[in-house]
Structure formats: structure tokens, C-alpha cells
């Protein structure tokens, strides 16, 4: 298996990405890693590693897409950017998966454009998994599709369920629709229109849930539109970080509290990992005809290594093959969802 | 000032509500509190208090609206429910404010119906304030209006800014629009259409923010549609509770960590208050022609007491008078927002 790694994407690129690639290369000798980025910068980074595993290679891509750039125009203007070239390698069959911590919008737009979509898929969706104490919970969509229609949510439910089942070994994931109350009559137009179709699917649909349920173990897969999902993801991150920082800051002022923090250090470290959404190695973009793992912009070397392992796992379990089969089996439902709501 | 208190609303009603009323009555002798609910149940509760302050009275309302009931039909079917009667007292000028921890949908619908809206207001919005370590941050709308249009967000920005300024003494609150990135071109249709109008307002508008900024002190007022706002509120609550519970649970397994939790107890208590969104005494429903404070369903006596104080403060600062003036001054902007987007 060959993985094209966008070496220039992310806040700590290329250093953290190269380090993550070297770590992953050592841990997975069967995986070939293509570091896509500025050749000279990559060679400089690799030279500092003191021994590069033979399964880590480079592929020159002199340009980079910045985090603030407009996704589609950046892709058009910069065909030899690291993200475009990594996706191109996958599109041309020279790589089996793409991993990027770069501009999410550019990765999503580029993947849809270059890899194309799986048979029948209307819109791809980002599936991000929270490492809750009660077990993993996958939220889809975390920001690929900001204007969703019912058919999109129906397909997200199917794709999210298949992914969660095979990525985390949960036989019949409990799939829920994110709303403002459990009651059927509650929700916005999108939720109300989507719910009956979700209930029809051959899934373990457990109805509507609220924001708190994303972190409380009441469901395994949460379906929502990309705007809401992105806000949930960022709110959770912000609150978690603030919580840990606030705890440490307040404890600083008191000698006993400071000792308390020291004694709790191993527990706080575990809590931090819960709130670190790269724990599960990045978020797959489900629905594209290929494997595309999106990492957090702030990904460090460990997050990159985990993302490479996640890409390999995704391939091993043939998640895309199973998604295509599941979508085909439920074609009648999402076709009706499309017709009834445009 | 007379406050009508929905004594049957909330998970711990009427006990916690009556207790909160007694506490508030003692602390604010100038405020008259009308406990609206089942007379016999209220008398029973009051009898157990050992002395009821003279400024706490009861008003019989034999029916109650349940948390799962459909708001509008429940109000129609139960005109003598505690929430309908409390609102009716305010509508008839027999009370100056209403406080309820009951079915939020019923309170919102009832307030709009019975109190009517302030001059020019298109939709009322719930303003909930997070007690972040960096200072209070008010989010509007937290769930009153699930289908927002740009004119609604424009009015929420104005009302939220006025409220935050006078409730928390912040001279020029920094008002932000919740989106999926700070860049102007990011966001869903509603955000993209609303932003130019928000930028035109005579407010301290600081642009678009992401979910994490709700808890990180980058802005004082966050504007969003009620669906998103409700999800942010519930996600924050769920994560905060889980965090504290997770910390305690993990610490249980280790004697040193257990000691650490003991030493940190005062700090954790403060953190808990940060995550307790009733700290600021409930969320006002802004835009109605009256004072209506919505409390969390799980409100305890202290939350109810705080909500009564918040209602009194709202009245003292004439927040509604100032909202009407601010809306009139910006009429041109929200009228254009209405015309341009329906």
C-alpha cells in the first residue's frame, strides 16, 4: 500500500509531517510513504533524522496552499502544490491513499474533483471521531458540506455507520440525528425532513439526540450538516483546551492545588488525549472514490503517524467497498429523499 | 417590581422553585414574587420552609406543561397552566417579569403570543451567557428561532450587544458572527448573507469566529441561528459535565490521584461554576415586550434565585428601552437585510 502524504500541509509542516512519516514508516514496513512537498525542504528534514526507512520516499511539489486561501481557486492556480500533487498521485493510481493536515477546504474540493465520488454519492462528508470515555463517537459531517439536504444526511448516516463499524469494530453502531431535542417534532427544517428517511434505513437508528449526547455515550454515530458539525468540533476542542488550561492556571495560585495537579498528572494526560481529536488518526473524507484522511492543522508527528495507520486500516477493511454496497442496498431511500426535497 | 415565577416548571419543581423564591424574597425585599402553580402543592412546600417572607405570594394555576409537550398546542389546551398564567399576569400588567424553568418551547411561544414583540422585532432570541474564565460571553440565539434569516441575525447582534453591555457592564461588547472560519468567504449561506449587514451596524463587530471562540475570550457576544446555538450550548454542557465526571472517575482508581482531586477540590468547584450556565441567572428571551427569563430545566434553588435577581437587573437597567432605541437607530440596516433575503 502506498500513501501520499501532503508534507507541506499543517501548522508544523514540513518538520512534524516528515517526523510522523519516518515513525509510521518504521512501524509499518509494508506501507510505502510518499512525502509530497518541496524537495529541498524535505531532504533537509530527512537528513536530520539520522536514518530514513527505505519505505519513505519524496515527490517534489514546489508550491503550497495556505490555510487562508480559497480552496478551489488555490487548486486551480497551484496544480503543483503539495495537496494537488498528492491527490493527483492517488487519482492516477500511483498512491492508494492521501493524508493531509493542510487547508481542509482545498483537500475536500481537490478530493471531490480529482478522486471523484463513489457510485451514487451526492456529497462527501468528513467523519471525525471523539475519543469519549464511554467509547468512540463518530460525527459526520464535520465541515465538508455546509448546505445539506436530506439526501446528504441519509447518505452520511449510511457511510458513517459503515465506517464506524469497521474502524472501531462496533457491530451495529447506534446512529443518531443531531437536533435540539429527542422529540420527533423538534428540530429545524432539515432535521424534520431527514428523520423519516433515516428511520427507514436498515441501520440501528436511535432517533434524535442533542449536543450533549455527542460526548455522553448515548450513540456511536452522530449525523448533522457540515456547518453544525464543524461548530460542534471546534466548540468541543476550545472548551477542552480551556478547561485544562484553566485548571492549571487556577491551581498555580495555591501550593496545595499545585500539588494536586502534580498528583493528577497521569489522569490529566489521559483526559487530554480524550479531547485530542487526532487520537484516532485524522478524519476520513467519506464518499470519495479513494482514501483521503484529513488531519487537524495543528497535527504533530504522532497525529501524522496515527493518520497513516488509519489510512492503512481504512484500506485493509475495504471501507469504501462496503460503503458502495450499503449505499446500493439503500438506494431507494436516498433516491426518495432526493426527490422529495430537491 | 413584581415577578411571576412559573413554580411548576423544571425538573425539580415545585420544591427547588419555591426554595429559590424564598431565598430571593429574603435577599430582595423590594421585589414581590408571585409563585404561579398548583396552590395546594405550593402551600405544602411553603409550609415546610419555616417562615415565608411577606413578599412571596402564590397564584393558583392547577395545570402544568410537560417538557415533552408541543409548545403551542399545550398553551392552547392548558390556559390555566403555570407558564400560561405567569405570562398572562405579565401581559395584563400584574407582573413586571416572568421567570420559568419549564418547557422552553412553550415559554418562547407563550411569551411571543401573550407579551408580543418589541417594536420592529422580527423574532425573539434566547441570550445565554457562558461564565468563561476570560469573562462572560453571551450567545444569541440559543434555541428560540431554528430557521433564521439575515434580518434575524442582524437584530440578534443589536439586542445581544445592548443586553451584554448593560447586564455585565462591558462598554462596547465585541460582537462576532459564528462560522466555520474567520475568513469572510467561509460559512453557510445564512452567514455569508448576514455578515455584510452586521459589519454595517454601529457595533464593535469583530468579524466571524469559530466554535472554539465561544469559550476563549475573543469576543463578548456570539450571534448564530437558534439550531446551532442550542447545539453549542448543549455540547458545552455535556463536555463540561463529562470532563469533571471523567476526572473524578479516573482518579478513583489511584490513591495519589484521589488525593490530587481532594487538593484540587476548591479549584474544581470554581471550574464547575464556569460550566454551570445558570451562574448568570438564566437566559433572557430578548425581543419580547416584557421581561422573560428562561432557566435551565435542571435549575436548582440557587439558579432560580439568580434568575429572579437577573430579572430585577434587567428591569433596573431598562434593557428593553435601550433595545428599542438601538433597533430604531439601525432600522435602515435590518430593513435592507429583510428585503434582500426575504
pLDDT for A11: 92
Average pLDDT for chain B: 93
3-state secondary structure of B276: coil
pLDDT for A68: 77
Task: Grade residue B266 by pLDDT with cuts at 50, 70 and 90.
Answer: confident
Cα gap B234→B131, rounded to integer Å: 15
> Which residues fall within 8 angstroms of residue B22, CB to CB, at 6 or more apart?
B46, B49, B52, B53, B56
Share of chain B above pLDDT 70, in %: 97
Residues of B in contact with A213 (CB under 8 A): 238
Pick A178's closest partner by Cβ from B185, B231, B240.
Answer: B231
> Any idea which residue has 471562540 for its cell?
B213
Q: Which of A127-131, A194-198, A271-275, B216-220 has the lowest mean pLDDT?
A: A271-275
Cα gap A219→A154, rounded to integer Å: 17
Is residue B211 within 8 angstroms of chain A, CB to CB?
yes
pLDDT for A279: 65
- With CA atoms as reference, the chain B residue closest to A177 would be B231
For residue range B29-66, list pLDDT tens digits in order: 999 999 999 999 999 999 998 889 999 999 999 888 88
Is residue A169 within 8 angstroms of chain B, CB to CB?
no
Which has the higher per-residue pLDDT, A251 or A194?
A194
Cα gap A166→B277, rounded to integer Å: 38
pLDDT for A249: 85
- With CA atoms as reference, the chain B residue closest to A230 would be B180
Q: Which of B72-86, B98-112, B239-253, B273-287 has the lowest mean pLDDT?
A: B273-287
Is residue B232 within 8 angstroms of chain A, CB to CB?
yes
Task: Count CA within 13 A, CB hemisphere, residue A323.
Answer: 32
ipTM over 0.90: yes
Residues of B in contact with A228 (CB under 8 A): 227-228, 231
For residue range B214-224, list pLDDT tens digits in order: 988 899 999 99
Q: Do A261 and B259 touch (CB under 8 A)?
A: no
pTM higher than 0.90: yes
For residue range A138-173, list pLDDT tens digits in order: 999 999 999 999 999 999 999 999 999 999 999 999
pLDDT for B277: 62
**Alpha carbon of A155: minimum distance to chain B alpha carbons (Å):** 20
Pick A211's closest partner by Cβ from B215, B233, B262.
Answer: B233
Task: Grade residue A44 by pLDDT with cuts at 50, 70 and 90.
Answer: very high
**Alpha carbon of A213: minimum distance to chain B alpha carbons (Å):** 7
Q: Which A residues, 49 through 88, put their C-beta within 8 Å of a C-beta on chain B?
A: 68, 70
pLDDT for A322: 98
Task: Count CA within 13 A, CB hemisphere, residue B3.
Answer: 35
> Which residues fall within 8 angstroms of residue A325, CB to CB, at 6 or more apart?
none
Q: Taking the CB of residue A314, how many other CB atoms lie within 10 A of it?
A: 22
Task: Grade residue B341 by pLDDT with cuts at 50, 70 and 90.
Answer: low
Task: Grade residue B279 by pLDDT with cuts at 50, 70 and 90.
Answer: low
Is residue A248 within 8 angstroms of chain B, CB to CB?
no
Task: Grade residue A72 by pLDDT with cuts at 50, 70 and 90.
Answer: confident
Is residue A131 within 8 angstroms of chain B, CB to CB?
no
Average pLDDT for chain A: 93
What residues pair up with A63 in beta bridges, in sequence order?
A81
Cα gap A305→A203, rounded to integer Å: 32
CA-wise closest residue to A324 among A85, A59, A49, A116: A116
Is residue B125 within 8 angstroms of chain A, CB to CB?
no
3-state secondary structure of A238: helix
- Residues A61, A38 contacting (CB under 8 angstroms): yes
Q: Which B residues, 141 through 160, put their C-beta within 8 Å of a C-beta on chain A?
A: 143, 146-147
pLDDT for A277: 61
b/e string for B99-138 if b means 16 or more Cβ within 10 A? bbbbbbbbbbbbbbbbbeebeebbbbbbbbbbbbbeebbb
Pick A180's closest partner by Cβ from B146, B239, B254.
Answer: B146
Q: Taking the CB of residue B204, how many other CB atoms lie within 10 A of it?
A: 17
For residue range A76-135, list pLDDT tens digits in order: 888 899 999 999 999 999 999 999 999 999 999 999 999 999 999 999 999 999 988 888
Pick B231's closest partner by Cβ from A147, A231, A262.
Answer: A231
Q: Do A212 and B228 touch (CB under 8 A)?
A: no
**Alpha carbon of B147: minimum distance to chain A alpha carbons (Å):** 6
Cα gap B140→B127, rounded to integer Å: 4
Number of helices (H), then strands (E), in chain B: 13, 11
Q: Which A residues, 279 through 338, put their C-beta within 8 Å of a C-beta on chain B?
A: none
- Angstrom CA distances, A254 to A179, A247, B5, B270, stand at 42, 12, 41, 14
> Across residues B171-182, what is the average pLDDT?
96
- Residues A163, A315 contacting (CB under 8 angstroms): no
Helix B226-252 / helix B255-263 crossing angle, nearest 10 deg: 130
- Residues B288, B116 contacting (CB under 8 angstroms): yes
Residues of A in contact with B266 (CB under 8 A): 254, 257
Amino acid at each position: 500500500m502506498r500513501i501520499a502524504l501532503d508534507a507541506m500541509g499543517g501548522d508544523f509542516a514540513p518538520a512534524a509531517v516528515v517526523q510522523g512519516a519516518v515513525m509510521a514508516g518504521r512501524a509499518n514496513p509494508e506501507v510505502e510513504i510518499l512525502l509530497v512537498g518541496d524537495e529541498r525542504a524535505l531532504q533537509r528534514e530527512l537528513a536530520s533524522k539520522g536514518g530514513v526507512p527505505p519505505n519513505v520516499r519524496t515527490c517534489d511539489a514546489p508550491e503550497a496552499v495556505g490555510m487562508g486561501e480559497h480552496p478551489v481557486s488555490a487548486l486551480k492556480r497551484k496544480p503543483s502544490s503539495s495537496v494537488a500533487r498528492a491527490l493527483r498521485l492517488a487519482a492516477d493510481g500511483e498512491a492508494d491513499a492521501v493524508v493531509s493536515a493542510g487547508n481542509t477546504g482545498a483537500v475536500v474540493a481537490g478530493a471531490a474533483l480529482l478522486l471523484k465520488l463513489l457510485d451514487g454519492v451526492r456529497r462527501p462528508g468528513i467523519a471525525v471521531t471523539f475519543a469519549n470515555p464511554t467509547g468512540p463517537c463518530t460525527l459526520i459531517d464535520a465541515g465538508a458540506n455546509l448546505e445539506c439536504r436530506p439526501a446528504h444526511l441519509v447518505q452520511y448516516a449510511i457511510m458513517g455507520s459503515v465506517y464506524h463499524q469497521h474502524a472501531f469494530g462496533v457491530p451495529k453502531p447506534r446512529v443518531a440525528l443531531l437536533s435540539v431535542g429527542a422529540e420527533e417534532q423538534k428540530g429545524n427544517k432539515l432535521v424534520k425532513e431527514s428523520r423519516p428517511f433515516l428511520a427507514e434505513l436498515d441501520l440501528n437508528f436511535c432517533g434524535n439526540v442533542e449536543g450533549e449526547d455527542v460526548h455522553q455515550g448515548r450513540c456511536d454515530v452522530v449525523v448533522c450538516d457540515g456547518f453544525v458539525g464543524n461548530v460542534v468540533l471546534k466548540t468541543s476542542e476550545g472548551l477542552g483546551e480551556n478547561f485544562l488550561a484553566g485548571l492549571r492556571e487556577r491551581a498555580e495560585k495555591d501550593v496545595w492545588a499545585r500539588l494536586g495537579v502534580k498528583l493528577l498528572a497521569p489522569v490529566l494526560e489521559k483526559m487530554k488525549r480524550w479531547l485530542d481529536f487526532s487520537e484516532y488518526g485524522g478524519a476520513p473524507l467519506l464518499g470519495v472514490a479513494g482514501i483521503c484522511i484529513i488531519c487537524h492543522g495543528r497535527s504533530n508527528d504522532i497525529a501524522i503517524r496515527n493518520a497513516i495507520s488509519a489510512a492503512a486500516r481504512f484500506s485493509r477493511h475495504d471501507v469504501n467497498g462496503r460503503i458502495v454496497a450499503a449505499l446500493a442496498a439503500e438506494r431507494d431511500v436516498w433516491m426518495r429523499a432526493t426527490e422529495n426535497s430537491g
